[in-house]
Amino acid sequence: MKRVIEVIGGDGNLSKIAVGDVLSTLSEWLPEGKRVIIITDANIHRNYQTLIDQYENIIIGFGETNKTLQTVEKVCSKLIELNVDRSCFILGIGGGIVTDVTGFIASIYMRGLKFGFVATTLLSQVDASIGGKNGVNLDGYKNMIGVFNQPEFVLCDTAILKTLPNREFKAGMAEIIKAAMISDHDLFEKLENLDATTLKNNPELLAEIITAAIEIKAKIVMADETEQGVRKKLNLGHTFAHAIEKCSHNSSLHGEAVSIGVVIISDLALRMGHITEEYRERVVNLLTKFELPTTTDIKTHKLLKALRSDKKREANGISIILPVGYGSCNIVHMSFDELNLHFV
Ligand SMILES: NC(=O)c1ccc[n+]([C@@H]2O[C@H](COP(=O)([O-])OP(=O)(O)OC[C@H]3O[C@@H](n4cnc5c(N)ncnc54)[C@H](O)[C@@H]3O)[C@@H](O)[C@H]2O)c1
Ligand SMILES: [Zn+2]
């Protein structure tokens, strides 16, 4: 079964997200008669070579260290070499690294080409490829250079996740649990009765869960595409996650850091009286059920120090997303001094 979710960008452009058995329909999503250039990584190329080699393709390197302006420059040079112009279509096939880089390149090369994604990790299906944020890192700071620009389409095929390493699958679950905590307690309760193996082996159920998470994000993005307000809620758990990623020099996967970040912020919400002990326990139990980490060896004072260099800091503080009840959270501005007091 196929489900389609629509995101209408600020410029009125319609972006369609299809979930389910959709990779076989790729040619129907591509614009007729246009030259298609694929950007992907070597793992995806190895696993889906027959499909990818039907088109001209460019392979980029793995991981955050390749989500850079150097990669953008190299790919743009390659596009010039291939005589790619604005009549061509760019297709990113990969996880969040590939889709972030591809969306950015397609937005700036010759002032912008149409583009689409085949999202190949669970994290990119439910989060990274959705919502039109495209960009790269600079000087060790994540996503410092980027644009808001919606892809024409995003294909989220559940079968493509079969080759995804288990650790990456579980990391994607952290973003789904985060989404449920933001605004869908029914989804949270559904997840409490599932586990990673059951989901991985049940494509129909998996598609249902992925769709629910995408719907949460799509609704928020349509209300606030450029993150002036409500979109900040999608950063639940991320303030501390970014600090963990920074202090652990990216040895934790992003989703793993988000899992720990969600627990740290739930603990804070509990101490501030916003949530009950019971809800905090349920959050920890759910993350544990999906075999995600919930604690870190990194000392709190180190994390708090790292927060002070967060790119999302505002004057002397930062916006924290606090759970305030089942399927609900608030954006709270806190000074660093106030935040420190809550952790002594
Ligand atoms: N733009 C956004 O709104 C947004 C949101 C969340 C995260 N992100 C970004 O996403 C990035 C992380 O993305 P990710 O978690 O998808 O990681 P990733 O792109 O690094 O992919 C993880 C690994 O899995 C491999 N892989 C991908 N799909 C596979 C498949 N189907 N089978 C086998 N191997 C496969 C990749 O080659 C890679 O080694 C981060 O840079 C993060 O900042 C962006
Ligand atoms: Zn995230």
Q: Distance between CA atoms of 70 and 78, rounded to whole angstroms?
A: 12
Assess whether the C-beta atom of 259 lies below 6 angstroms from ligand 1.
Answer: no
Can 308 be counted among the known catalytic residues?
Answer: no
Radius of gyration from C-alpha coordinates of the chain: 20
Q: In the prediction, which pLDDT does 341 show?
A: 86
Q: For the chain, which residues make up each domain, given as ranges? A: 2-163, 166-342
Nearest CA owner, ligand 1 atom 7: 128
Q: In the prediction, which pLDDT does 232 show?
A: 95
Nearest CA owner, ligand 1 atom 22: 95
pLDDT over 90 (residue 219): yes
34-38 mean pLDDT: 98
- Cα dihedral 19/21/26/31 (nearest 10): -40
Can 189 be counted among the known catalytic residues?
Answer: no
Which one is the CATH code of 166-342: 1.20.120.1200, 3.20.20.70, 2.40.110.10, 1.20.1090.10?
Answer: 1.20.1090.10
Assess whether the C-beta atom of 217 lies below 6 angstroms from ligand 1.
Answer: no
Nearest CA owner, ligand 1 atom 38: 62
- pLDDT one-digit tens code per residue, 85-118: 999 999 999 999 999 999 999 999 999 999 999 9
Residue 89: beta bridge partners?
A: 36, 114
pLDDT over 90 (residue 175): yes
Q: Domain 2-163 classified CATH 3.40.50.1970?
A: yes
Query: At CA 55, angle to CA 3 and CA 168, rounded to 5?
Result: 50
- What pTM does this model have? 0.96
- Catalytic member of 175, 208, 215, 225: 175
Can 86 be counted among the known catalytic residues?
Answer: no
Same fold? 2-163, 166-342: no
249: left (phi over 0), alpha (psi -120 to 50) or beta: left
Residue 45: both structure tokens together: 């190329």
pLDDT over 80 (residue 250): no
- Catalytic member of 111, 193, 277, 278: 111
Best mutation site among 47, 100, 137, 173 for ligand 1, i.e. most ligand atoms within 8 A of its Cβ? Answer: 100
Q: Percentage of the chain with pLDDT > 70?
A: 99
Q: In the prediction, which pLDDT does 186 show?
A: 98
Q: Which amino acid is at 98?
A: V
Can 301 be counted among the known catalytic residues?
Answer: no
Q: In the prediction, which pLDDT does 163 show?
A: 94
Assess whether the C-beta atom of 135 lies below 6 angstroms from ligand 1.
Answer: no
Q: Sorting pLDDT into bands at 50, 70 and 90, what band is 308?
A: confident
Q: In the prediction, which pLDDT does 105 show?
A: 98
Query: Cα separations (Å) of 200 from 47, 126, 317?
Result: 18, 15, 40
Nearest CA owner, ligand 1 atom 4: 128
Q: Can you tell me whether residue 134 is helix, strand or coil?
A: strand
Residue 268: both structure tokens together: 């804070």
- Catalytic member of 227, 289, 291, 340: 227
Q: Distance between CA atoms of 275 and 278, rounded to whole angstroms?
A: 8
Contact 222, 6 (CB under 8 A): no
Distance from the Cα of residue 100 to its chain's centroid: 9
- Cα dihedral 92/97/102/107 (nearest 10): 140
